[in-house]
Amino acid sequence: MHRFEYYAPASLDEAVALLKEHGDGVKLLAGGTDLLVQMKEAGLHPPAVVSLHAVPGLDGIEFDEASGLRIGARVDVASIESNDVTEQRYTALAEGAGIVGSIQTRNMATIGGNIANAAPSADTAPPLAVFDAVAEIIGAGGQREVPVIELFDGPGSTILTTDEVITGFKLPTPPANTGSVYQRHTPRKIMDIAAVSVGIRLSLDNGKIGEARVCLGAVAPTIIRASDAEEALTGQAPTDALFAKAAELAQAASSPISDVRGSAEFRRHLVGVMTKRCLDIALERAQD
């Protein structure tokens, strides 16, 4: 590992000032489960690392029926996996958090880091997107909020400027009769990243689908919403034929590549199979 400057700011303002001072190449440290691996094994050599460990205001999971759920960016994914509110009301997010790496990794990895790393296979990204999550961001230019689905502009790349920090995520309260699910396919059962991942949310209204969200991971340069599938589902009574059509539309939205985890053809096939399966599960959960 190459030498680098290490900073431990005690406030967000101090962290932002350090990021602005050091500019391109500086890296933020939260859980470190991605950053340290990249520095040790992937040839990443940042001139400076700014730790968020001592910065207040980045922790906590809070829920209010009127305003919804807020998760601090430094919350570890193990806490999200086991939280009663996420398990019951935001099930897809609990499921995504529950399969990040190993148990040890989940107790270190933060949701902010999982998103800021911008891997197309990030397991918390599709669940956040299907719940219309918004990222809270602060930088030298002030504060702003950006829908999670709009944060990414390529593999490992976000729209964040070099002096911006994600401070948390806000998720609206799901409508009544909502079911959600997140699943992925990996070559290995554990300790692997997704070859294909699917997040689904269905909200029923008088027996029909009032809202539908379908988000795919690992089959494009960024996570993607299958908007044609969502449109086909919305306002319709749920049937096997409808779900099969939505699965085909999700396949059409994907643009996977061939790599060591599978060919593009195989991964596109998986999109259809997994989308149909997840729609069935989400519907069953919405009807419970």
- % of the chain surpassing 90 pLDDT: 89
Q: Can you read off the two tokens belonging to residue 235? A: 């306002």
Residues 190 and 160 in one domain: no
- Please count the structural domains in the chain: 3
Cβ distance 199 to 215 under 8 Å? yes
Residue 276 belongs to domain with CATH number? 3.30.390.50
Residues 183 and 221 in one domain: yes
Residue 23 pLDDT level (bands cut at 50, 70, 90): confident
Residues 158 and 260 in one domain: no
Asked whether residue 256 is assigned to any structural domain, the reply reads yes
Residue 31 has pLDDT above 70, yes or no: yes
Query: What residues make up the domain containing 161?
Result: 61-171
The 10 Å Cβ neighbour count of residue 12 is 18
Residues 87 and 186 in one domain: no
Amino acid, single-letter form, for residue 31: G
The bridge status of strand 48-51 relative to strand 27-29 is parallel
Residues 98 and 191 in one domain: no
pLDDT in tens, 46-92: 999 999 999 999 999 999 999 999 999 999 999 999 999 999 999 99
Residue 196 has pLDDT above 70, yes or no: yes
Q: Work out the mean pLDDT of the chain and round it to a whole number.
A: 95
Residues 206 and 269 in one domain: yes
Residue 2 pLDDT level (bands cut at 50, 70, 90): confident
Asked whether residue 94 is assigned to any structural domain, the reply reads yes
Residues 19 and 92 in one domain: no
Residue 189 has pLDDT above 80, yes or no: no
Cβ distance 187 to 212 under 8 Å? no
Asked whether residue 185 is assigned to any structural domain, the reply reads yes
Residues 194 and 276 in one domain: yes
Q: 81-94 as b/e, with b when 16 or more CB fall inside 10 Å?
A: bebeebeebbbbbb
pLDDT in tens, 5-15: 999 999 999 99
Cα 117 to Cα 7, 26, 121, 189, 217: the distances in Å are: 20, 14, 10, 22, 14
Asked whether residue 115 is assigned to any structural domain, the reply reads yes
Residues 110 and 26 in one domain: no
The residue from 136, 155, 171 where one domain ends is: 171
Please compute the mean of the pLDDT values over residues 204-232 and round it to a whole number. 97
Residue 24 belongs to domain with CATH number? 3.30.43.10
Asked whether residue 56 is assigned to any structural domain, the reply reads no
